[in-house]
Chains A and B, each alone.
Chain A
């Protein structure tokens, strides 16, 4: 195995992204979403004067969704690989599959972090220090890596990937309800790892942060297991 292989992998991914109009659009989509929401924010505050009390929760959701859009780009590159059946070829290369996946997940994580971090910086509605922004962006971007694994495990092609994406976007926003209702069923949302990210940002507490990291770690393990099972 050569370290330069990673450079070729990256070069290859960039080529695949820039030669696909949909993927190219997805690289700017988070920025359009962020700037659009930022422009709409004053109107929302006018309509809902208590909205600023939930700025942290809002940032958590926007940070997570922005990160997910970053993760989706890599997920779609991987779904293209599934469509083209090239994973089989990579499996007969002198390059361990776990390193290939580690590269892909790190890239997805990095891309997600950039988008989450950008979202937090561009909104700039909470008095977070740079370190806090980095830390919260890391928390938000965890979800993208986990969801990438689930997406490439369950979707066999890009069309199924888009369906998965639509469903996931709904589930991503759903746990927000738990912060506004006081009924027993709000605890159902605790099964979603990203719920704990929202909680850790809205109600800062080391325990919620730990649960967020741990639950994402468990979900990552399940996702990776499923991915291996599906690719064998």
Chain B
């Protein structure tokens, strides 16, 4: 669906490139995440893909079309194919949520019949239906972010670019947005998202690209990464009696069923907890890049 080869991007007047020769491929119908700390180049890469930034080096193919050579052919049609959710809220503050959506819907070739109903459904999906007629200037940041998100879905595009889609949201609304993203994937949409929340990346992404200082040192699925970088151990936390001092012991997963020491421990002690020692994406990120995610 999207192929990027040796992408380099430098902001004007900047001495060093922000994106340094990155290459990756996004398959149709997958959720591909850029995971990295602020300033890593995730949003810049997304801005290049959404054509908000030009004058890049390297090649970008979207639906097998070269974005430089065939630029004229699908210049504005490209925007019928993609939906963009920005990192920060951007709406007409003096208009209501519904008026904002109606205005942006006017740019697309949409069936006018039932349009308002569809827009209201979108607002409903993120819990904003009751605030549809409220001016956006009276919205909280979280409400504006949810409006940002649904605006990207107005025209039901096959490709979605979402920049920090859960930023500024409380856990309940964050989950609503994540569930919608997973539903969109089920509908076959290709989703490219940036995040610095490893739990979002873990819950949403089929594959993640670790991005740090403009480079992508690693791309893989969260599952593979956890298997590859995790330890196949079981940590047992126990005490001799309930309420007494806790102790930990580790056991190899492969030989667990035959491990007499393990069987004896669980039979003779009070078990507080048992956890497999998978690495978190954050642990892996730190191990691979040497940087923290914040």
Contacts and interface: CB of A to CB of B under 8 A. Distances in A.
Interface of A: 1-2, 4-5, 8-9, 12, 15-16, 19-20, 80-81, 83-86, 88-96, 232
B90 A93 contact: no
Given A5-B106, A8-B106, A96-B76, A15 B94 contact: yes
Contact of A89 (B76, B104, B108): B104
B113 to A, nearest CB: 14
Contacts of A20: 94
Contacts of A16: 92, 94-95
B90 A8 contact: no
Given A1-B76, A89-B86, A232-B54, A94 B92 contact: no
Q: Tell me the dominant secondary structure on chain A's binding face.
A: helix
Interface in B57-97: 75-80, 82, 84, 86, 88-95
Contacts of B185: none
Contacts, number: 76
Interface residues of B, number: 32
B93 A84 contact: yes
Given A5-B106, A16-B94, A86-B92, A92 B52 contact: yes
B215 interface: no
Given A8-B103, A86-B92, A92-B84, 5 more contacts: A16-B92, A16-B94, A19-B94, A84-B92, A92-B82
Nearest to A93: B107
B74 to A, nearest CB: 10
A89 B88 contact: no
Contacts of A91: 52
B86 A94 contact: no
A202 to B, nearest CB: 42
A58 B118 CA distance: 56
Given A2-B106, A94-B108, A86 B91 contact: yes
6 contacts: A1-B107, A5-B106, A15-B94, A15-B99, A84-B93, A85-B89
